[in-house]
Amino acid sequence: MIDLRLVRDDPEQVRDSQRARGEDPEAVDRLLAADAGRREAVSTADALRAESNTASKAIRSASADERPGMIERAKSLKAQVQEAEAAQAAADAALLEAHRAVPNVVSDGPPGGEDDFEVLREVGAKPTLENPRDHVELGTMLKAIDVDRGAKVSGSRFYFLTGVGALLEFGLLQLAMNQAMDAGFTPVIPPALVLPHAMEGTGFLGAHAAEVYRVDDHYLVGTSEVPLAALHGNEIFDAADVPRRYAGFSPCFRREAGSYGKDTRGIIRVHQFDKVEMFSYVAPEDAADEHQRLLAWEEQFLSALELPYRVIDVAAGDLGSSAARKFDCEAWLPSQARWLELTSTSNCTTYQARRLNIRYRSDAGTAPVATLNGTLVAMPRAIVALLENHQQADGSVVVPAALRPYLGGREVLTPA
RNA sequence: GGUGGAGUCGCGUAGUGGCCGAGCGCGCACGCCUCGAAAGCGUGUGACGGUGCAAGCCGUCCGUGGGUUCAAAUCCCACCUCCACCGCCA
């Protein structure tokens, strides 16, 4: 949720943000009205409660004669309080609904929709390959990826990673975790099933609700951002506790509803995959700098894998509701001669923390922290990019030097 | 899954209907004392909301949600979590 003070003090800024996202600026005015309505209801109820408390307290020291009349008066006050409290509850609910309807205020990124991103830089040389094989062909030759049997066992968009495919994931995991720990992250294995409040608090039951699998009373997370954000829900950090950084490794589950026909081949878009996610809790004034650091760590990792990539500044209309700004790193995909999103980092400022009630104590008092997340490595797409970019004419794949220690020193993966 | 016990202001605890709208100890902060410190003494100590220029005032919060009552930490109901033991199990 956004800061209500901002809405009261500078509603036009929030309306501008809505326009940049291509969403309704009127939502801001509905929020202002709900806010005013709630404050009035609270004042009314507070005053009645105060009167009722006083009347009730006086009974204790009253004489036996006075009592019956005073109790009658207290009873009637109580009835009024109950009425006012019902009105307050309704006003609270209305405010919450209007509050949640407004996504985070965008900052600095380009306005517009999915195609209005801005390319910030391109790093590394695209490989020169004649008739490059795609990752499915390479993965099959290496006996690393088995999509046919994945479909046989679990349906479309499932796969087996076998042999060197599995080893690649383990290697990527180790490399990622080591880099994260060097940067001061705490490694975490979080739960992959969470309660509704955790999913709700991170904003994944809004526009993304159709993406989420549900099992009995739990949701399957689509990213470990969810448990890592909810980890400190309802807590207050001391100022010295931030920044705090976690690197979570978890499976991720996505229904991929509405993506029929997109990325149907191979393991680019799948229902289940593993990912290492960076998550930071920082003081709000440090959030923009932390966002740059997360991006730098993502780039460091892509560089270690020797992948050609570009960085884009995602347009406002393509941001999630919690994000104020987002950068994606896209690796080159030789088989399709296009860029493929490999990592993504979002600055959620205090939006998510306000929903999850995560604060820190500073000299200025208690205030919501800022939260940020960024992909360090999403396994299937990293493997896709590795295989395709480092392939050789014979179908063998060169292992980047940084990964070799985790693959028994192997320099090249060769078809069996 | 079964049985029993427990959840109170950072931590430990007191508290079985109105003197608890929460006491004490520890911790922490400030002050006094001191050359400095410790000890000692004193004062203070949370969150959220409303209102106000502000000081302040008012309201809410004793795991959560309901209920009884003029009045609930305290009584009733449901739920959650933790601990112990038993059973089962990777």
In chain A the domains, ranked by start, together with CATH numbers, are: 4-100 (1.10.287), 118-413 (3.30.930.10)
Q: Does residue A341 have an active-site annotation? A: yes
Q: Is the CB of residue A103 less than 8 Å from the CB of residue A7?
A: no
Q: Is A335 a catalytic residue?
A: no
Predicted local distance difference test score (pLDDT) of residue A7: 94
* pLDDT the model gives residue A200: 86
- pLDDT for A259 equals 78
Using the structure, give the distance in angstroms from the CA atom of A89 to the C1' atom of B81, rounded to a whole number. 27
pTM flag (> 0.90): yes
ipTM above 0.90, yes or no: no
DSSP label at A391?
B
Burial of A416 (0-12, 13-18, 19+ CB in 10 A): exposed
The nucleotides of chain B lying under 7 Å from a protein CB are 18, 21, 46-51, 58-60, 70-71
Residues of A (22-51) placing their beta carbon closer than 7 angstroms to any atom of strand B are: 39, 42-43, 45-47, 49-50
Q: What pLDDT is stored for residue A66 in this prediction? A: 75
Residue A359: CB partners within 8 Å, gap ≥ 6? Answer: A235, A236, A237, A353, A366, A367, A368, A369
Indicate if A254 belongs to the active site.
yes
CA A167 to C1' B66, whole Å: 54
Q: How far is the CA of A45 from the C1' of B15 (A)?
A: 30
pLDDT of residue A54: 81
Residue with tokens 């406002």: A316
Active site residue A67: no
User: pLDDT by residue for chain A (416 residues), tens digit each?
Assistant: 999 999 999 999 999 999 999 999 999 999 999 999 999 999 998 888 888 888 887 777 777 777 777 788 888 888 888 888 888 889 998 999 999 999 999 999 999 999 999 999 999 999 999 999 999 999 999 999 999 999 999 999 999 999 999 999 999 999 999 999 999 999 999 999 998 888 988 888 877 788 899 888 889 999 999 999 999 888 888 888 889 999 999 999 999 887 777 788 899 999 999 999 999 999 999 999 999 999 999 999 999 999 999 999 999 999 999 999 999 999 999 999 999 999 999 999 999 999 998 988 877 778 899 999 999 999 999 999 999 999 999 999 999 999 999 999 999 999 87
Nucleic acid strand B within 7 Å of A78 CB: yes
Cβ neighbours of residue A345 closer than 8 Å, sequence gap 6 or more: A278, A291, A294, A295, A298, A326, A327, A328, A372, A373, A374, A375
Asked if the Cβ of residue A52 lies within 7 A of any atom of strand B, the reply is: yes
Report the pLDDT value the prediction gives residue A58, as an integer from 0 to 100: 77
